[in-house]
Amino acid sequence: MSEIHFCLLLAALLFAIGVFGLLTRRNAIGILLSVELMANAVNINLVAFSRVHGGATGQVFALFAIALTVAEVAVGLALVILLARTRKSIDVTQARDMHG
Amino acid sequence: MAEAPPPMNLQQLALAIPLLPLAAAALIGLVRPIGRRGGLAAVISIAAAAASLGCALALLSRTAEHFVLRVPWLPVGGRTLAEVGLRFDGISAPMLVVVGTVALMVQIYSVGYLSDEGAGPRGRYFTWQSLFLFAMQGFVLSPNLLQLFCFYELIGLCSYLLIGYYWERTSAGRAATKAFWITKLGDIGFLVGLLVAWTQYKSFDLETIQHALERGPLQSGAWILPALLFCGVASKSAQFPLHVWLPDAMEGPTPVSALLHAATMVAAGVYLLVSTSFLLAGAPEVSTVIMYVGAFTAVFAAIQGAVQHDIKRVLAYSTCSQLGLMVAAIGAGSVMAGYFHLVTHAFFKALLFLAAGSAIHAVHTNDLRQMGGLGRGMRWTGLFFGVGMLALAGIPPLSGFFSKELILGALEEHPVALALGLATTLMTPYYMGRAFLLAFTGKPRSQSAEHPHESGWLMRGPMLVLCLLAIVSGGFLWSFGRTIHEEAELHVSPVGFFGVGLALLGLGLAWMLHGPRKATIDALPKAVLEAARSSLVDNLYVFGWKHVLYVVAVVTAFFDRYIVDGLMNLLGWAGDKAGGALRRVQTGLAPDYVLALFLGLLALVAWGVWGGS
């Protein structure tokens, strides 16, 4: 088992934890954290493959992805603040006005 | 249709014939102050009718300059679907004069007959009279089937309005409705015929269809169009079994009956048959059917006429019977004979109705049983009725003889139809003689019949004119017919003279059975009386309505309500329920959607890895 396998295993583990958090968390901030975990799992993959192939493209791509994730978190936090203001709660299961 | 345009003044004259009465109808009907003054309405209507007749007479002498005027109508995609126009030729010219004359006489007579009526109803009456004249003259002048149909329906509408003139009487309303619906029943055939004509010939124009037929007859289905058109003819011209409206139409004022039964409503059917007779040449089986229907109607109605107590009903069945003869002659191939009889019949039947109306006006009843001996107080009326009777019986040299002789001649080669025709020739003078003898001779059988007063000159004048026409029109038209239709063979056949013998025999029978000494009301065997009065055909219609049409309607309603509507309701119900069940999927919980997203993603991945190989 070479080092790339460890990297992939770590990334898969992180991604799975992220998905688990996304599905089980009721707290909006917890959901945002889970999404971050999933995004960073992908970044680990990018960097790992970049090392194996010996080019800088993957690492550059990972940097862009991190910048984009920050922007995404900014939007996500703004949504959380709005949710807190309008409902006095950031429990996502409370916000289900669209149910059928 | 490249033709030399007809001379302008001829066109204008022909146009004026229908348009003058239309203008009169519009004036009386729409300008309320005129409509409310009966006398003024009558003057306008009569003036228009007289002017229209004048135009028709002016045209009659110029029949040789026949023309067809066509104006495009309903242009669609660069071609005209239909045309309106005028057709002036040897067929329409005499009819215009006949219709104009009878209508004018009836309108003048109506002034006297309806003098007891209020001004408002009289205004209404003359509106419909003028409209009726417009419809009939427009019909006579129509050059194509579509226009013929439009005017045909207008004639039906006007008849409805005039039959229902005494609308406050329930029976009049019912009679009007009956006439309307029975004629509509036949007109369905005409309407389908229009579609067939368009499919087969791509045209409604009579001349175009005739030329198409002359170039090459249809390979198949040539019988459909004449058969369908005959349905329309049979209803308007009261052929068995669509004749049931005609006796009931007697509910209208007597002048209306005269108009309907002489020159307009019933004549329209025969005129249509004459106009489209070229179609019959290619359909011998239809001709045969038409001939037998006509011949049967002639005898059937004659028997009915012989048992009636109502003098107007006698005349109504007589009309029905004479129409049968005309139709039979046309079916037998002699169009001229049928047309000729239509013209002569118009004069003497109008005369008979007006004379009967004069008697009714004096006695205030239609019932022959309450008349009798009217001839003493009403010499003129008796004379007119007598002349009409002799003309109808076909006694030479009155007009009926010439036309009836032609009809019998036309039927010569068809033994069964000829026998029926001869039977009618025997029956006609019998029932007419019976009506005449019972009404005008013998002793008065009621109070009101004891001192009848002769009608005024307003009523006698028109009768006198019609009386003279009933006497001379046969001989006149005989010679006139030779000048227009050189090809028509007009000759007296031995059958015709045999017919005269039968007519005299019928009159003699009437004299023996119903003469002033005996004055029997019903002389026929009891079985015949009961059978003829049992209104069997009416009952058949009622049966058909109650047990056939109603059942069909119930079944159709069931099918529509529970099968067609049910299917639609089922679809709606299923959609509603399915939506109700599926809406639970939308929980509104964000994690559920994410879960669905991931499951979908996993499914896609699984499909990409294992599936689709």
Radius of gyration, CA atoms only, chain A: 17
**For the ranges A7-21, B455-469, B525-539, which has the lowest average pLDDT?**
B525-539
Which residues in chain B touch residue A19, judged by CB atoms under 8 angstroms apart?
Answer: 598
Task: Locate B317 and state its tokens.
Answer: 């069945």
B595 in reach of chain A (CB within 8 A): yes
Burial class (CB in 10 A: 0-12, 13-18, 19+), B345: buried
Query: What is the greatest pairwise CA distance in chain B?
Result: 120
* Among candidates A22, A26, A95 on the partner chain, residue whose Cβ is nearest the Cβ of B594: A22
Task: Locate B507 and state its tokens.
Answer: 């009159």
By C-alpha distance, the chain B residue nearest A31 is B591
**Does residue B3 have a pLDDT over 70?**
no
Query: How many helical (H) and strand (E) elements, i.e. helices and strands, does chain A have?
Result: 3, 0
Q: Are A23 and B595 a contacting pair at CB < 8 A?
A: yes
Q: Are A98 and B588 a contacting pair at CB < 8 A?
A: yes
Specify the pLDDT at position B485: 53
pLDDT band at B260, cuts 50/70/90?
A: confident
Distance from the first to the final alpha carbon of chain B: 73
Q: Are B586 and A98 a contacting pair at CB < 8 A?
A: yes
Q: Are B591 and A24 a contacting pair at CB < 8 A?
A: yes
Q: Are A98 and B595 a contacting pair at CB < 8 A?
A: no
* Among candidates B588, B594, B595 on the partner chain, residue whose Cβ is nearest the Cβ of A97: B588
Most confident listed range (B106-120, B373-387, B549-563, B583-597): B549-563
Residues on chain A bordering chain B, Cβ-to-Cβ distance under 8 angstroms:
19, 22-26, 31, 92-93, 95-100
CA A30/CA A22 separation, integer angstroms: 8
* Among candidates B582, B583, B594 on the partner chain, residue whose Cβ is nearest the Cβ of A23: B594
Which residues in chain B touch residue A26, judged by CB atoms under 8 angstroms apart?
Answer: 591
What are the tens digits of pLDDT across the range B97-132? Answer: 888 888 888 888 888 787 777 777 778 888 888 888
B581 in reach of chain A (CB within 8 A): no
**For the ranges A30-44, B133-147, B442-456, B592-606, which has the lowest average pLDDT?**
B442-456
Half-sphere exposure at residue B63, Cβ-oriented, CA atoms within 13 angstroms: 19
Distance of CA A24 to the CA centre of its chain: 15
Q: Are A96 and B587 a contacting pair at CB < 8 A?
A: yes
Specify the pLDDT at position B490: 54
CA-based nearest residue to B380, from B354, B346, B349: B354
For the question of an ipTM over 0.90, the answer is no
What are the tens digits of pLDDT across the range B23-56? Answer: 888 888 787 777 777 778 888 888 888 888 888 8
> Are the CB atoms for B407 and B334 separated by under 8 Å?
yes
H/E stretch holding B374 reads helix B374-377
Instruction: Determine the average pLDDT of the residues in A20-33.
Output: 90
Interface A–B counts its CB contacts (< 8 A) at 34
**Region at B597 (left for phi over 0; alpha for psi -120 to 50; beta for the rest):** alpha
CA B360/CA B9 separation, integer angstroms: 44
Helices (H), B485-589: 494-514, 526-533, 536-543, 550-558, 565-582
Specify the pLDDT at position B65: 73
Q: Which domains does chain A carry? A: 3-87 (1.10.287.3510)
Q: To the nearest whole angstrom, how far is the Cα of B598 from the nearest Cα of chain A? A: 9
Helices (H), B306-334: 311-331
Q: Mean pLDDT for chain A?
A: 89
pLDDT band at B5, cuts 50/70/90?
A: low
**For the ranges A5-9, B390-394, B559-563, B592-596, which has the lowest average pLDDT?**
B390-394
Which residues in chain B touch residue A22, judged by CB atoms under 8 angstroms apart?
Answer: 591, 594
**Does residue B443 have a pLDDT over 50?**
yes
Distance of CA B548 to the CA centre of its chain: 27
Q: Are B591 and A23 a contacting pair at CB < 8 A?
A: yes
Which residues in chain A touch residue B583, judged by CB atoms under 8 angstroms apart?
Answer: 100
Which residues in chain B touch residue A97, judged by CB atoms under 8 angstroms apart?
Answer: 588
Q: What are the backbone dihedrals phi and psi of residue B2, each rounded to the nearest 5 degrees, phi first?
A: -80, 105
pTM of the model as a whole: 0.74
Q: Cα dihedral sign for B184, B126, B383, B520?
A: positive
CA-based nearest residue to B506, from B523, B528, B491, B529: B523
pLDDT band at B1, cuts 50/70/90?
A: very low
Q: Are B585 and A97 a contacting pair at CB < 8 A?
A: no
What are the tens digits of pLDDT across the range B28-37? Answer: 878 777 777 7
B580 in reach of chain A (CB within 8 A): no
Instruction: Determine the average pLDDT of the residues in B399-426.
Output: 81
What are the tens digits of pLDDT across the range B493-507? Answer: 677 777 778 888 888
By C-alpha distance, the chain B residue nearest A97 is B588
* Among candidates B584, B589, B594 on the partner chain, residue whose Cβ is nearest the Cβ of A93: B589
Q: To the nearest whole angstrom, how far is the Cα of B575 from the nearest Cα of chain A? A: 16
By C-alpha distance, the chain B residue nearest A93 is B589
